[in-house]
C-alpha cells in the first residue's frame, strides 16, 4: 500500500508540473541573417583559404605515371611554403543574389562572388547552367569535412542543384570521347577537371543540410564528362537556357503563369519545367515554330509584343 501511495504521489506531481507548462518549452526563434551581413564573412573566409592553400598543379602540368587527375588541396606551409597560392590561379564570377531567393523579406540584392579553378581544360564544349551534365564531384566545407561525393559519373540537370554550382560548371569544358576499358568499365577522355569555391549565398545559405552548417561556404571538386547540348527538360521545344527570361542566369525564377497557377492552386512550375508556359491550355510546343535545323520562331498573333507561348489572352 505504501508503494502504491508513493506512485500515486509521483503521478500527481507530474500532472501538476505538466499543467503549469501548458505553453510547452520556451524555444527562442532565431530569424535568418541578412545576405549583406553573411556575404562579407563568407568572402573573408574564402579569401583567407585561397591565400593559404594550393593545389597539385605540378602534377597536372607534368602528369606522373598512373596519375589519377584528381585535385588535391593542401596548406602552404613547411615543405610546401614555396607553392603558388590558389588566389593567384582562380577565376571568379559575380552573381546578384536577392532576399527573395531564400524567401527572406528584407528586400536585399547583394553581389556574391564565386571562384573556380580549371586544373585540366576539357576537350569539348561548355554546358550552360541549364543543361543536363554528366559529372563526378566531391563536396566539402572549408575545413576539409566531406559532406557528399560520387565515385562515378552521374547525370545532373543543373537547375535542380545549387545556383553557384551550376554557374561554375558552365565555365568548364566536357570530355571528347567515351572509351571502354579492358575490364569492361568505361571512361571519358579529356574531361574538364577543377574546383569551385562558393559563398553560402550561392549555396544553402541558412538552410539545414546533413553535414553542412548554416551559412557555410562550400568547395566542390568536379570532373565534367559530358552534357546534353540545348537540354530541353520539359520537352516544350525551347532549350532550358532560353527560358531564362530575365537574363540573370537562373531559370528557376522565371514563371510566366505564376498568377494563373496560384488561381487554380497548382504548384508553381517555372517555365523550364512547364510544358504550357502561359497556362492557356495550349502546349508551348504548339505555339512556336521549329524548323528542320532547330531554329525557333516565336509567333505573336495579336501583335502585342508578347509571343503566343507566353500570352494567355491571345
User: Looking at the predicted structure, is the pLDDT value of residue 297 above 90?
Assistant: yes
pLDDT value at position 30? Answer: 64
CB–CB of 226/175 below 8 Å? Answer: yes
C-alpha cell at position 8: 500515486
Q: What single DSSP character describes residue 212?
A: B
User: Looking at the predicted structure, is the pLDDT value of residue 6 above 50?
Assistant: no
| C-alpha closest to that of 279 among 264, 260, 262 | 260
User: Looking at the predicted structure, is the pLDDT value of residue 82 above 90?
Assistant: yes
What are the DSSP E strand ranges found in the chain?
A: 53-55, 73-75, 91-98, 109-120, 132-141, 146-149, 154-157, 177-180, 186-189, 192-198, 218-228, 289-290, 296-297
Whole-model pTM: value is: 0.87
What sign does the CA torsion over 140, 144, 147, 152 have?
positive
| C-alpha closest to that of 143 among 38, 45, 37 | 45
Question: Tens digits of per-residue pLDDT, 175-222?
Answer: 998 888 888 777 899 999 999 999 999 999 999 889 999 999 999 999
User: Looking at the predicted structure, is the pLDDT value of residue 24 above 60?
Assistant: no
User: Looking at the predicted structure, is the pLDDT value of residue 8 above 70?
Assistant: no
Question: Tens digits of per-residue pLDDT, 284-293?
Answer: 999 999 999 9
More confidently predicted of 1 and 43: 43
Mean pLDDT computed over 57-65? 96
Question: Tens digits of per-residue pLDDT, 242-256?
Answer: 999 999 999 999 999
Query: What's the whole-number average pLDDT of the chain?
Result: 91
Within 8 A by CB and 6+ apart from 217, the residues are 42, 45, 46, 49, 141, 142, 197, 198, 199, 200, 203
Residue with cell 509571343: 307
Amino acid at each position: 500500500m505504501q508503494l502504491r501511495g508513493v506512485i500515486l504521489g509521483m503521478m500527481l506531481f507530474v500532472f501538476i508540473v505538466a499543467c503549469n507548462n501548458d505553453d510547452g518549452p520556451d524555444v527562442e526563434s532565431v530569424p535568418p541573417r541578412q545576405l549583406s551581413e553573411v556575404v562579407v564573412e563568407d568572402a573573408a573566409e574564402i579569401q583567407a583559404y585561397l591565400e593559404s592553400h594550393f593545389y597539385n598543379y605540378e602534377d597536372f602540368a607534368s602528369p606522373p605515371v598512373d596519375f589519377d587527375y584528381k585535385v588535391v588541396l593542401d596548406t602552404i606551409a613547411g615543405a610546401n611554403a614555396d607553392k603558388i597560392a590558389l588566389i593567384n590561379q582562380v577565376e571568379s564570377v559575380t552573381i546578384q543574389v536577392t532576399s527573395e531567393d531564400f524567401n527572406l523579406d528584407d528586400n536585399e540584392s547583394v553581389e556574391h562572388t564565386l571562384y573556380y579553378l580549371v586544373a585540366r581544360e576539357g576537350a569539348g564544349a561548355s554546358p550552360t547552367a541549364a543543361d543536363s551534365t554528366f559529372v563526378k564531384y566531391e563536396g566539402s566545407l572549408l575545413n576539409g569535412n566531406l559532406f557528399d561525393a560520387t565515385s562515378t559519373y552521374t547525370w545532373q540537370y543543373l537547375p535542380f542543384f545549387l545556383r553557384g554550382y551550376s554557374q561554375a560548371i558552365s565555365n568548364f569544358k566536357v570530355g571528347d570521347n567515351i572509351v571502354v576499358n579492358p575490364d569492361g568499365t568505361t571512361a571519358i577522355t579529356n574531361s574538364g577537371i577543377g574546383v569551385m569555391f562558393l559563398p553560402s549565398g550561392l549555396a544553402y545559405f541558412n538552410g539545414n543540410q546533413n553535414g553542412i552548417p548554416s551559412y557555410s561556404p562550400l568547395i566542390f571538386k568536379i570532373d565534367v564528362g559530358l552534357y546534353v547540348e540545348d537540354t530541353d527538360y520539359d520537352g516544350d521545344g525551347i532549350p532550358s537556357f532560353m527560358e531564362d527570361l530575365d537574363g540573370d542566369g537562373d531559370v528557376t525564377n522565371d514563371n510566366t503563369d505564376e498568377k494563373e497557377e496560384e488561381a487554380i492552386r497548382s504548384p508553381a512550375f517555372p517555365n523550364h519545367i512547364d510544358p504550357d508556359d502561359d497556362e492557356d491550355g495550349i502546349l508551348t510546343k504548339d505555339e512556336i515554330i521549329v524548323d528542320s535545323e532547330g531554329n525557333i520562331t516565336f509567333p505573336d498573333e495579336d501583335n502585342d509584343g508578347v509571343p503566343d507561348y507566353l500570352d494567355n489572352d491571345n
